[in-house]
Structure 1
Amino acid sequence: MSKSQPSKIDVQNAKDSCLVAIVLVGTMALWLGAQWMGGELGWEPRFVFLFDLAALAAFFWTMVVTYRIWRRNKSVSGRN
């Protein structure tokens, strides 16, 4: 028997899921590093707050992409 090839949608979902995971981990690492550096170097809170806003933007983006993956799976399975 031959193995069935994954569909283009499955491949796209896998790529998007991997990208979401990388962005989530990278965002958390950079945000934690910025918080630590801000405390150690005595940065003003307004500069550290910029890192908070950037992290929130990245988390919002991952939520949007995750929702898109979920909708794509739902439309393929026929359960709109």
Structure 2
Amino acid sequence: MALDKDTYLAKKTRLVALVIAASMCLWIGAQWIGSKLGMDPRYAVLLDLLALAAFLWALIVIYQIWRARQQG
């Protein structure tokens, strides 16, 4: 049973790492492309908010993982 929980938490941790890395790369790329193409600032803000949403989701899931490990 503990192995199943550890495996589940490891998969969740990998997913969080992937989301953080992907959202950061996409955000940086979108900012760079947007500046080159003269993107409207409101779209840049929208991209910023999407990146923040991804980071907030990751933070919440990291907290859930931490709590699950604290409980045993």
* TM class, shorter-length: over 0.9
Tell me the CA shift for residue 9 of structure 1.
1.1
Q: Secondary structure at the match of 1:7?
A: helix
Structure 1: runs of 5 or more not aligned: none
Pair 1:60-2:56 in alignment: yes
Equivalent position amino acid for 1:17 in 2 = T
More helix by share: 2
Mapped to 2, the partners of 1:47 and 1:33 lie a distance apart of 14
Q: What is residue 14 of structure 1 aligned with on the other side?
A: 10
Pair 1:43-2:12 in alignment: no
Larger radius of gyration: 1
Which of the residues 10, 26, 30 maps onto 2:22?
26
Stretches (4+) displaced over 6 A: none
Aligned residues: 72
Q: Structure 1-normalised TM-score?
A: 0.86
The CA RMSD over aligned residues, in Å, is: 1.3
Structure 2: runs of 5 or more not aligned: none
Larger RCO: 1 or 2 (CA < 8 Å, sep 6+) = 2
